[in-house]
Structure 1
Amino acid sequence: MVIVNQQRVPRKRTYLMCSPERFAVEYAINPWMDVTTPVDTALAVKQWDRLRETLVNLGHTVHLLKPQAGLPDMVYAANGAFVVDGIVYGARFRHEQRAAEAAAHRAFYEEQGWRFIAPNETNEGEGDFAYVSEAHGGLVLAGYGFRTDPAAHAEAQEALGRPVISLHLVDPRFYHLDVALAAIDDTNIVYFPGAFSHASQRVLAQLFPDAVVADDTDALAFGLNLVSDGAHVVLNSEATRLAEKLKAAGYTPVPVELAELKKGGGSVKCCIAELRH
């Protein structure tokens, strides 16, 4: 049962984003990508700029990663690493088309003086890892089934010193954890049960009995691919029903339009990596 009208407290965050000026759908590595559908790059940049400005206006810090030629998916900055307590667990991409993105992310973190741990196992950063900072002393929720290998969950646990809960994704439309689940404050989550195996659904229900539960309409509108500062929830403008659920639970929905970036299989969260000091 969701607690209604609870006072929500925002916390300033630090994010990493990458402009979509080189964004295109040149290959298909998830069910949303269609190489026959043209991308309006100028519109993608405009929508992305509004997302970045939204975060800044909410009081957050946004660092920028320089896009590189030949890497059209770099706009999905969340996939490049997973950062907790100033420790960076690097990505190792499933598909060769994105493999070189990992080095660009590593260079950014090393230049910034972060402690970087190179992965041996295939994982796609915050695409398949979510952090709930006060739940059970700091809990990592980790997805597998399409992009990240289960062995990466154990590797991340050793790298970050936080317990990792493995969750089995079973619907290819929800190929990453971050299109099916998100942390909305330091103790709670929002998720779409249908993206997960029955066993994983039971685990989530046990760990988060007060979770906001989304339906398939908002999940398919990329509504769960969101970021939250604990009070304000920035989410895709098409996910109107989920916005109402979040509002009823005491959060402030902040809708943004990202239609062009949806063509690559991502939305708000895919574009944003959180840098947790």
Structure 2
Amino acid sequence: MTNLAVRSWKRLMMCQPTSFDVIHQGHNAYMTMDSPVDRALAMKQWEGVKSTFESIGVEVEVIKNMPGQVDQVFCANCALVWGGKALISNMFNPPRRAESEPTIEWFKERNFEVYDSRPHGLNLEGCGDFAYNYNRKHAYLGYGFRSDKESYDLVKDVIDFTGTEFHSLHLVSELCYHLDTAMLSLSQGHVLVFPPAFDTHSFNLIKEVNGADNIIEISEEDCVDNFVPNAIPVHDGDKHYVVGMAFSPELHKKLTDLGYEILITPYQEFRKSGGSIRCSVLDIGI
């Protein structure tokens, strides 16, 4: 397949999980609180992910985890970043709304153009519900659980999508409450998708704009247990990496046969809160 990658995940924000815990039952289908978080293990797993990124040439910048902000480690949700602009989120769950102010300051210190979505009164959860193809011809905003359908218009008004078609996708499964738990665009043009996550129109749109031959439908095991859509694709020269928590043997083989190098780094402590690797990084280089 022709190399389509023009941008990759080479500059990331991460938040060290010094306050991470699961204390809010039911914020998503995974937050059952059946077992307590092993915070030492969580820190080790986070450090392992950060080290993996750095080992393949990714620059990682860290935002401080504010005291008591147990979910701030999932910094993908804090903003939608595109073209040097950071559109600050308005979180659906009230306990997360305190993350906005330190996020605004962090981006201002790095000379991003910052736009605050909160005065609009719409729920919008940043890059948790935003995705783009590696050729940047298409970008998507998911809605249905954490982001409102109407936030599509706000994003389109704030962000300059010249040269990129911007679509909205309706999420319908509680197991996939964010777009980054339902689909993943890879660096050679393939797209991993869990079809039950979307309504019929949205799934057909994904196939139409990407080409049906590029769609890889994943199993419930890979979506729900392994959180594969929450992996990160990194392109570097002739290398096409996929950094993820776990993969079924069948999907692992399929991706390696297509030329991807799979880098597995454990992250299961964070699944107790309904998140994985992609939830924990924000691409700030796009």
Normalised to the residue count of structure 1, the TM-score between the two structures is 0.92
* 1:107 aligns with one of 105, 108, 132: 105
Q: CA deviation at 1:19?
A: 1.1
Correspondence 1:13-52 to 2 at 5 A: 13-28=10-25, 29-52=27-50
* 2:198 aligns with one of 178, 196, 216: 196
Supply the distance in 2 between the matched residues of 1:76 and 1:12 (Cα, whole angstroms): 16
* Higher mean C-alpha deviation, range 254-263 or range 188-197: 188-197
**What is the identity, as a one-letter code, of the residue corresponding to 1:178?**
D
> Structure 2: which 5+ residue stretches go unaligned?
none
Supply the distance in 2 between the matched residues of 1:109 and 1:135 (Cα, whole angstroms): 23
**What is the identity, as a one-letter code, of the residue corresponding to 1:237?**
A
Report the counterpart of residue 276 of structure 2 in structure 1: 267
Report the counterpart of residue 151 of structure 1 in structure 2: 150
**What is the identity, as a one-letter code, of the residue corresponding to 2:10?**
R
In 2, are the aligned partners of 1:8 and 1:250 still within 8 Å (CA)?
no
2:256 counterpart of 1:232: no
Match of 1:83, SS state, is strand
Q: CA deviation at 1:12?
A: 6.2
Supply the distance in 2 between the matched residues of 1:267 and 1:42 (Cα, whole angstroms): 17
Query: Considering only aligned residues, what root-mean-square deviation do their CA atoms show, in Å?
Result: 1.8
Structure 1 pair 202–11 and aligned structure 2 pair: CA distance change class (3 A): closer
Q: CA deviation at 1:185?
A: 2.1
Report the counterpart of residue 182 of structure 1 in structure 2: 184
* Higher mean C-alpha deviation, range 190-199 or range 177-186: 177-186
* 2:228 aligns with one of 223, 226, 231: 223
Q: CA deviation at 1:228?
A: 0.7
What per-residue deviation string (whole Å, max 9, x for no partner) do you get for residues 128-155 of structure 1? 001225243xx22111110001111111
In 2, are the aligned partners of 1:23 and 1:74 still within 8 Å (CA)?
yes
Post-superposition, which runs of at least 4 consecutive aligned residues in structure 1 deviate over 4 A?
6-12
In 2, are the aligned partners of 1:17 and 1:271 still within 8 Å (CA)?
yes
Supply the distance in 1 between the matched residues of 2:22 and 2:11 (Cα, whole angstroms): 28
Q: CA deviation at 1:36?
A: 4.2
Normalised to the residue count of structure 2, the TM-score between the two structures is 0.89
Structure 1 pair 77–240 and aligned structure 2 pair: CA distance change class (3 A): farther
In 2, are the aligned partners of 1:227 and 1:269 still within 8 Å (CA)?
yes
Match of 1:37, SS state, is coil
Q: CA deviation at 1:213?
A: 2.4
> Structure 1: which 5+ residue stretches go unaligned?
none
Correspondence 1:114-133 to 2 at 5 A: 114-119=112-117, 120=120, 121-133=122-134
Q: CA deviation at 1:265?
A: 0.3
Report the counterpart of residue 213 of structure 1 in structure 2: 217
Report the counterpart of residue 79 of structure 2 in structure 1: 81
Identity %: 28
Supply the distance in 1 between the matched residues of 2:252 and 2:103 (Cα, whole angstroms): 32
